[in-house]
Amino acid sequence: MTAARSFAGSSLVDAHGRVVRDLRVSVTPRCNFRCTYCDPMGMGAHEPPGTLLAEHFDVILRAAAGLGMESVRFTGGEPLLRKDLPELIAMAHAAFETVGEAGRQGATDQAPPAAHAPRDADIAITTNASGLAKRLPDLLGAGLRRVNISLDAVDPEVFRLATGGGDIARVWAGIEAVEAAGLTPLKLNAVVVRGVNHSQVAALAALTRDKPYHVRFIEYMHLDNAAFGTYDARFVAGSEIRAAVEAAHGDLESVPTDPSAPARLFRVPGWQGNVGFINPVSEPFCSACSRMRVTSDGMLRPCLLNDREFDLKPALLAADPVRAVQEVFVLAAGRKVASGLTAPVERPRTMVAIGG
Ligand code: SAM
């Protein structure tokens, strides 16, 4: 390790020339839902030992901000199960705004100025929203800007089946609270699984008729360690999902989309919202990947679909932990694979313990 190395003003670039901009931080592996495709073993029922404390996340967030990363999305497990989520959101803001300040000062005596400063921190959460209505005021107060909500069905019974007992009324209360707060765009994500919720595709797309939602259909990835035959039987390709939307609502028209974003966006002509397709299995978008993940037990995971992880815990104990964590980020970026493996292989962690 090079203790004297400065990361100020730099961007984190991986082994394949992709700039690492977006950090997904899983704050707990616990979840109050049991989605079949995410947590089939019910592992999210308990908090295992080793979940990082807020002070550890603070170091990681400051390290990421100093490396020029631009967005943080807190996930899990279910991030709302973490009581100190507002504190974590506030920490993310403080981390990114501090770097912005440093960049502004540096720009006066350095040429060129730091490329990533100043900037407005993009802080978001991905949640099942079942506890969101109650928590939202505190989260907004801490600086939450955007919310992605998982919604796998419109029919309450199908929703209950897909989520292992989830109450859709509580989720709608969360969605309405986010709408009332004016956080846009509100992205509603559905993982489509044959035999579970594939019958809901047309109804989910119909939510975009009168509301400016982005309803995004996600291809089911083999991150649940489903048996090979089971996974193949349950997988629904994005093209089939789109065909189901068009069969019900007519041809979709394309909506201009950020090429680095995972979703390709469309709309039913005349409708208010968008329908998106995230097809990591049938149309991998690894070449545009800008993400890295931190698991709740302190492992840095450069690629969702590759099991190699880098342990941040020793760096968190270093004399200069921010710098030490940055060194691990740089090491991990240098080892990031060009593309992940979507084939059904046995994985050490299921999605609930990685963080989506
Ligand atoms: N509990 C939160 C929620 O429900 O959104 C956050 C965690 S969840 C792991 C994050 C995202 O991962 C959700 O949109 C979920 O649908 C997605 N996900 C989980 N397992 C998946 C799988 N096997 N394939 C594709 N997406 C998956």
Residue 79 Cα to ligand 1 midpoint, Å, equals 12
Pocket test for ligand 1, best of 152, 204, 218, 235 (most atoms within 8 A of CB): 218
Question: What are the CA-CA distances from residue 218 to residues 18, 93, 280, 325, 333 (Å)?
Answer: 23, 29, 8, 32, 26
Residue 268 Cα to ligand 1 midpoint, Å, equals 26
Report the C-alpha dihedral over residues 282, 219, 23, 141, rounded to 10 degrees.
Answer: 150
Full pLDDT tens readout for the chain, 356 residues: 444 466 766 799 999 999 999 999 999 999 999 998 998 888 888 888 899 999 999 999 999 999 999 999 999 999 999 999 999 999 999 998 877 555 433 333 333 334 444 456 799 999 999 999 999 999 999 999 899 999 999 999 999 999 999 999 999 999 999 999 999 999 999 999 999 999 999 999 999 999 999 999 999 999 999 998 999 999 999 999 999 999 999 999 999 988 878 999 999 999 999 999 999 999 999 999 999 999 999 999 999 999 999 999 999 999 999 999 999 999 999 999 999 999 999 999 999 999 98
Nearest-atom number in ligand 1 for the CA of 190 is: 16
Could you identify the residue written with the tokens 């978001």? 124
Within 10 Å of residue 24's Cβ, how many Cβ atoms? 21
Residue 96 Cα to ligand 1 midpoint, Å, equals 26
Residue 272 Cα to ligand 1 midpoint, Å, equals 25
Pocket test for ligand 1, best of 236, 351, 354 (most atoms within 8 A of CB): 351
- Retrieve residue 246's tokens: 């068009």
User: CA–CA separation, 108 vs 303, rounded Å?
Assistant: 37
Q: Where are the beta strands (DSSP E) in the chain?
A: 22-26, 71-75, 122-127, 146-150, 187-192, 214-219, 253-254, 264-267, 274-278, 291-294, 299-301, 310-311
pLDDT tens per residue across span 231-268: 999 999 999 999 999 999 999 999 998 887 899 999 99
Question: What are the CA-CA distances from residue 123 to residues 88, 100, 101, 251, 265 (Å)?
Answer: 10, 15, 18, 34, 22
**Any ligand 1 atom below 6 A from CB of 26:** no
User: Given the DSSP bridges, would you call strands 264-267 and 187-192 parallel, antiparallel or unpaired?
Assistant: unpaired
Cβ atoms of residues 170 and 134 within 8 Å = no
**Any ligand 1 atom below 6 A from CB of 223:** yes
Cβ atoms of residues 35 and 162 within 8 Å = yes
Running DSSP on this structure, what letter comes out for residue 19?
A: B
**Any ligand 1 atom below 6 A from CB of 327:** no
Residue 47 Cα to ligand 1 midpoint, Å, equals 18
CA 131-140-96 angle, 5° bins: 120
Nearest-atom number in ligand 1 for the CA of 75 is: 6
**Any ligand 1 atom below 6 A from CB of 39:** no
Could you identify the residue written with the tokens 């694979």? 337
pLDDT tens per residue across span 185-238: 999 999 999 999 999 999 999 999 999 999 999 999 999 999 989 999 999 999
Cβ atoms of residues 32 and 217 within 8 Å = no
